[in-house]
Amino acid sequence: MSVAIFPAAGGLGGATYSALLKLLNPKDVVLISRHPEKLQQEQKAGATVRKADFDDVESLKGVFEGVKTLNLISYPSIEHEHRFEVAKAAIDSARASGVQHIFYSSLAFGGFTSNPPFRAQVMLAHLDTEAYLRSIHEQDPGKLSYTVVRVGLYSESFPIYTASFDINHPPKDGKIRVPHNGEGPGIAWAKREELGEAVARLIAIREQDPENFAWKNKLMVLSGPKAYSLNETAKVFSDVLGREITVQEVSVDEYADLPAVKESLTYGSGSWSRPWATAFEGLRHGVAAEVTPYLRELLGREPEAFEVTVRGMKASV
């Protein structure tokens, strides 16, 4: 029974395979990356390393041979159509190679519903991928099962929700300018490393008893232990820095034109700052505020508090 992670790169993929290699025999683990040379240590430990790239669909063909369980991690982008198409190509390749179960690492930006109250740009490709997994399972229930794991918003990713706020170089005026008044519902921040560990533990549970796996063909939300409004998030920054940091509501146009925001959200065909602003409307609808016990249960301990993670990101003087 081989378990594969694709792509085995980036923060979530790295955290997942680091934990998984401690839970399973490394010889049963396949790590698939566009940079396999970066996985030499894992290969020496016994893992199989293969090369594939979301942006090279041909490289996906046959790369999942011998794999029974796949952890598919989403393409790193907020773009919609291409992000879904490459996920679909990976799923189709997995089916053709005989993969029996797919863990899809989605995003906790929609609660427990397949039809969230607001469809933010960042969630569009995820929702399409989730729907595609459901549809192919319904077409042939005995061939492929799935688990959608909506992983919480990374604590370390707070800059993309706070106008590129940098805990080590905060704005002189202490203002976080976003198209939101800072009030709840908030964000159930979760540490990325712990999210990866929890996904690995979930995979290991299924490997022990596939037939009785409780999350077969279901959606799980892995969240942090508490939802923080943006004002509460700013209060954490204030406490860490010892100076006042506050949220200032601005228009979508003003937000999208902020230099730091434009710079952080410019790639491919141009700036994605305006589409990204839909995330704030999603926050108003509470799509990132779902708090569940599953991260704590899978870890077997209390997840790291947002304040602790942020304090750890603050450079020592």
Query: How far, in Å, CA of 56 to CA of 7, rounded?
Result: 13
What span, in angstroms and rounded, lies between the C-alpha atoms of 96 and 71? 16
Closest CA to 222 of 1, 26, 33, 15: 15
Kindly report the number of other CB atoms within 10 A of residue 189's CB atom: 29
**What gap in Å lies between CA 101 and CA 69, rounded to an integer?**
5
How confident is the model at residue 203, as a pLDDT?
A: 98
Give the domain 156-186+225-289+302-313 fold: UDP-galactose 4-epimerase; domain 1 (3.90.25)
pTM of the full predicted structure?
Answer: 0.95
> Side chain identity at 63, as an amino acid letter?
V
Cα separation, 52 vs 36, in Å, equals 9
CATH architecture for the domain at 2-155+190-222: 3-Layer(aba) Sandwich (3.40)
pLDDT per residue over 39-85, tens digit each?
Answer: 999 999 999 999 999 999 999 999 999 999 999 999 888 889 999 99
Per-residue pLDDT at 316: 61
pLDDT tens figures, 126-183: 999 999 999 999 998 889 999 999 999 999 999 999 999 999 999 999 999 999 999 9
Q: Is the pLDDT of residue 216 over 90?
A: yes
Q: In the predicted model, what is the mean pLDDT of residues 183-211?
A: 97
Residue 85 burial (10 A CB sphere; 0-12, 13-18, 19+): middle
Q: How far is CA 18 from CA 9, 15, 30, 106, 142, in A?
A: 11, 5, 12, 19, 31
Per-domain residue ranges for the chain?
Answer: 2-155+190-222, 156-186+225-289+302-313
